[in-house]
A and B are shown apart, each in its own frame.
Chain A
Amino acid sequence: MTAFLEVENLEQRFDVSGGPLDRLRFENGVPTMARRIVHAVNGVSFEIQRGEVLGLVGESGCGKSTVAKTIARIYRPTGGAIRVDGEDVSQYDYRKMLPVRRKVQMIFQDPFASLNPRQRVRDIVMEPMIQHAEPGDKTIEKRAMELLARVGLRPEHADRYPHQFSGGQRQRIGIARALSVDPQLVIADEPVSALDVSIQAQILNLMMDLRDEFGLSYLFITHDLSVVRHISDRIGVMYLGFMVETAPRDKLFEEPLHPYTRALLSAAPAIDPDPEAEEEIELTGEVPNAFDLPSGCCFRTRCPFAFERCSRERPVLKEAASGHQVACHLLDGET
């Protein structure tokens, strides 16, 4: 059986150079047309099986949200393939994409910006269904009400506007909207990071329940390591638009191989500090900007173990153990 979602070498660059007048520069007196390109995602590959939860972690600017939004085809990728059920949708236009959208839905980060302030809750939840159903389908309204009840809202909430709800309730509305067309994969972009801890737990529990009930797969984007450990089956770690390590959940936490993953894990604050934690890897410096990627390994500028080869050659993801892939020269054993 093939994976439900296969992403291969996904690349996303944003040209932010603006119009011709903005681009015109004088380099040593010579007029040149400068381009400024953000290298947001630089060749990322992974797959998600049916019913699986893949967590993507990384710090701000690592491209995890761009990956999510590119797979949801909010953006058109500049390179690579996105195969949904074996079908490459990366360059589909609006019409061809429509049936695919039924299968892939999305939950957004900001519960305040992700709902149109001028739409009633009922209309928000019905909107995707109306787009996909036959005109005059009578069951839509009933299904919207069922979904609202399922995510924990009361029937009278259906006629209210988003501003009358708390952050957690809005996120429930967003979940109901995503589920309305019976998707198989739900992309969740930091769905709990804007919420209070107690509400965060409610939403995480709800998402776990819905996954079992509807047989969903999740692509779960977050910066919070304890959240990603809680919800994922498999975890991918991203840095500067590259995937540096993927592994099954427990494996990644018990045996992180990439220096960046190790640093990330040792930096994460925990209320249950690991008694046998190995010595901490402390990173110096900050993430380079995505206009101008370093040569070779993207992490070498901050890596305490970087050596000559790291600036020469870009490491690729290699299988280090079964299901555990790492992109680091250190694992080749030669220095």
Chain B
Amino acid sequence: MQGFLKSEFFFNYRRSASAIIGSALMLVFAIYVAFGPWLVAQNPHDIASLELLDSFKPPAWLEGGDPRYLLGTDGQGRDILASVVYGARISVMIGVTAMLCSCLIGTVLGLLAGFYRGVIDSFIMRIADIQLSFPSILIALFLMSAVGTGIDKVLIALTAVGWVVYARTVRGSTLSEIEKEYVQAARVAGLPDRKIILKHVLPNVLTPLIVIATIQVGTFVLIEASLSFLGVGVPITQPSLGLLVKNGFDVLFSGLWWTSAFPGLAIMMLVFGINLFGDFLRDELNPRLK
């Protein structure tokens, strides 16, 4: 830890406003994800704890507001703040899990394509090219309509969209790494392909993925929100931020703006924080900018 506090990375971090704001926002959401249920009074998924009488209360600072419901309530009397905290948990967990799956699959395919070249390479990369020529939301929509809805289905759709960027990046770095002499040295030492890939190539192609993975969590949160908003995302029993926006949207024009606006604001802050921090990471980890 002492070493980290003295490192150049930390030195630059302390001087970068965007990095500090971004990581602060990310920290807030990390706390929601980890401790959410203990932070809010109500469990919005538990129908027994809802008071129908408290439905459509405006935020606490407006006329008719109830101090128990800081951001107001929705049609079932659910506390919006509690919904947002629970929804953020679902959104973030979907984003992170889908990112991990994409990263794993994309990295493996990229390594194989870059290391073995030839037919494997052409096959994987052509699929990736085709994939990239469609908007990712379209592919996700198409898949969701084919396999149905549910959190697991959302994960499959996001992974199907997300692996390409890792595969392409890893393939590119692999191609340049295997030309380097340390990989040739490993061959001369008598290492089999498997060991060369795992011990020599893999550790040296991972750094650029950190930036991609960070920013991708933000992208996935947005795609998932869009899917849920379109009604092909998460089920109504496990509402993510996107579904909350949709639910509120139905009554938005009756002047009940808070049911939709606060979940939307949460999405914005989450993605904004991730992108700010991601930009900082990119500047720090990119050797070309140094």
Is B257 among interface residues, defined by CB-CB distance under 8 A?
Answer: no
Q: Which of A98-154 contact B (CB under 8 A)?
A: 98, 101-102, 104-106, 108-110, 113-119, 127-128, 131-132
A128 and B190 alpha carbons, distance in the complex (Å): 7
Cβ contacts A244-285/B at 8 Å (1 or 0 each) = 000000000000000000000000000000000000000000
Which residues of B lie under 8 Å from residue A118 when comparing CB positions? Answer: 203-204
Q: How many residues of B contact A (CB 8 A)?
A: 18
Is A300 among interface residues, defined by CB-CB distance under 8 A?
Answer: no
A97 and B192 alpha carbons, distance in the complex (Å): 11
Which residues of B lie under 8 Å from residue A174 when comparing CB positions? Answer: 185
A105 and B181 alpha carbons, distance in the complex (Å): 13
Which residues of A lie under 8 Å from residue B122 when comparing CB positions? Answer: 19
A104 and B215 alpha carbons, distance in the complex (Å): 47
A114 in contact with B188 (CB, 8 Å): no
Cβ contacts B170-197/A at 8 Å (1 or 0 each) = 0000000000111011111111110000
Q: Looking at the complex, which one of B181, B188, B193, B199 makes contact with A113 (CB distance below 8 Å)? A: B181
Q: How many residues of A contact B (CB 8 A)?
A: 30
Which residues of B lie under 8 Å from residue A108 when comparing CB positions? Answer: 181, 184-185
B189 in contact with A116 (CB, 8 Å): no
A263 and B189 alpha carbons, distance in the complex (Å): 38
A131 in contact with B185 (CB, 8 Å): no
Which residues of A lie under 8 Å from residue B203 when comparing CB positions? Answer: 116, 118
Q: Looking at the complex, which one of B184, B189, B192, B193 makes contact with A127 (CB distance below 8 Å)? A: B189
A77 and B65 alpha carbons, distance in the complex (Å): 82
B186 in contact with A127 (CB, 8 Å): yes
A118 and B201 alpha carbons, distance in the complex (Å): 10
Q: Which residue of B lies closest to A126 (CB)?
A: B189
B190 in contact with A74 (CB, 8 Å): no
A101 in contact with B188 (CB, 8 Å): yes
A177 in contact with B185 (CB, 8 Å): yes
A74 in contact with B188 (CB, 8 Å): yes
Q: Which residue of B lies closest to A106 (CB)?
A: B188
A106 and B188 alpha carbons, distance in the complex (Å): 7
Q: Which of B102-122 contact A (CB under 8 A)?
A: 122
User: Closest CB of chain A to B162's CB: distance in Å?
Assistant: 26
Give 18 A-B contacts (CB < 8 Å), ordered by A residue. Answer: A69-B184, A72-B184, A97-B190, A104-B188, A106-B188, A108-B185, A114-B181, A114-B185, A115-B185, A116-B182, A117-B204, A119-B199, A127-B186, A127-B189, A127-B191, A128-B189, A131-B190, A174-B185
In the complex, besides A113-B181, A114-B182, 9 extra interface pairs with C-beta distance below 8 angstroms are A69-B184, A72-B188, A97-B190, A101-B188, A101-B190, A105-B188, A113-B182, A116-B204, A127-B189
Kindly list the 7 A-B residue pairs having the minimum CB-CB distance in the complex, ordered from nearest: A128-B189, A114-B181, A108-B181, A101-B190, A131-B190, A118-B203, A116-B182
Which B residues contact A (CB, under 8 angstroms)? 122, 180-182, 184-193, 199-200, 203-204
